[in-house]
């Protein structure tokens, strides 16, 4: 069974930059997996940040960017703000209409 | 305003059934794929199912295949999830989400409805 891997947690200083990654337990992530990224504050519904690797969803500030770094998808937050403190999830399209979420990364801004 | 509102959650005994609904408004419902995603409180998001625009194509996570059925009524702008043979590990908040054809992901999410399966 395919497992999508994410770092459990990350800390970043206000104004700093953090890069979260999204990998596969076996194999490399490419644009063919159409990685997307979601932000979720506990107790709230998810919010879409990035789709199709690097396209920003409507209303998402440009301090959030998506890319492929090496063999993983990546979400970079540049100039982190206090309200970026949240859980971040990636999802990969596995083909044939099937999707798999990663377990999420908890980002702390301090 | 684009909106998705889930309903139908509640408490059900193990082995029972429940049907969730997701009412869509503010957009052309029939033009979008739709997903169900669930989340056990304190845990991560898990993809459950997807349906294409006219309802002719559906896919499921292995954990729910054969027990859950996704469907839609484009005339009523409503998405459904029929859940049968429910188990304690189906306990979760269930979100519906909209998916543009070219997104390969979700763009708008509902607020969720809670399903609790008692053993």
- B40-92 pLDDT, tens digit each: 999 999 999 999 999 999 999 999 999 999 999 999 999 999 999 999 999 99
Sign of CA dihedral B110, B42, B115, B52: positive
pLDDT value at position B19?
A: 98
pLDDT band, very low/low/confident/very high, at A1 (cuts 50, 70, 90): confident
pLDDT value at position A68?
A: 98
Q: Is the pLDDT of residue B119 over 90?
A: no
Which chain A residue is nearest to residue B112, measuring alpha carbons?
A45
Smallest CA–CA distance, residue A79 to chain B, in Å, is: 24
Name every residue in A having a CB less than 8 A away from some CB of B.
1, 34, 36, 38, 40, 45-48, 51-52, 57-58, 87, 89, 91, 93, 96-104
> How much is the mean pLDDT over chain B?
97
Helix spans in B1-119 (H)? none
- Comparing CB atoms, the residue among B59, B105, B108 nearest residue A36 is B105
- A45-84 pLDDT, tens digit each: 999 999 999 999 999 999 999 999 999 999 999 999 999 9
CB atoms within 10 A of CB A78: 14
Q: How many beta-carbon pairs under 8 angstroms link A with B?
A: 69
Asked if A101 lies within 8 A of B109 by C-beta distance, the reply is no
pLDDT value at position A2?
A: 83
Question: What's the distance, Cα to Cα, between the start and end of chain B in Å?
Answer: 40
Q: Is the pLDDT of residue A17 over 90?
A: yes
CA distance B108 to A110: 30
Give the 3-state secondary structure of residue A2.
coil
Smallest CA–CA distance, residue A97 to chain B, in Å, is: 6
- Comparing CB atoms, the residue among B59, B95, B106 nearest residue A98 is B59
pLDDT value at position B4?
A: 98
pLDDT value at position B102?
A: 83
Residue A35 near residue A101, CB atoms below 8 Å:
no
pLDDT value at position B103?
A: 82
pLDDT value at position A45?
A: 97
Which chain B residue is nearest to residue A59, measuring alpha carbons?
B107
């Amino acid at each position: 069974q395919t497992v999508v891997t994410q770092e459990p947690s990350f800390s970043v200083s206000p104004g700093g930059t953090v890069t979260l990654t999204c990998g596969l337990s076996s194999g490399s992530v490419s644009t063919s997996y159409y990685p997307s990224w979601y932000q979720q504050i506990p107790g709230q519904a998810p919010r879409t940040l990035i789709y199709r690797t690097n396209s920003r969803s409507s209303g998402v500030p440009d301090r959030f960017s998506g890319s492929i770094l090496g063999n993983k998808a990546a979400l970079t937050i540049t100039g982190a703000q206090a309200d970026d403190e949240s859980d971040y999830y990636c999802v990969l399209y596995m083909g044939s209409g099937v999707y798999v979420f990663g377990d999420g990364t908890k980002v702390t801004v301090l | 305003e684009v909106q998705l509102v889930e309903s139908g959650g509640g408490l059900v005994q193990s082995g029972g059934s429940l049907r969730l609904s997701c009412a869509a408004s503010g957009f052309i419902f029939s033009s979008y794929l739709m997903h169900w995603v669930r989340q056990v409180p304190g845990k991560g998001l898990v993809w459950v199912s997807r349906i294409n625009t006219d309802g002719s194509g559906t896919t499921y996570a292995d954990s729910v295949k054969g027990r859950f059925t996704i469907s839609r009524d484009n005339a009523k702008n409503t998405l459904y999830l029929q859940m049968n043979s429910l188990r304690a590990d189906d306990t979760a908040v269930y979100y519906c989400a909209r998916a543009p054809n070219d997104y390969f992901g979700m763009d708008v999410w509902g607020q969720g409805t809670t399903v609790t399966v008692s053993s």
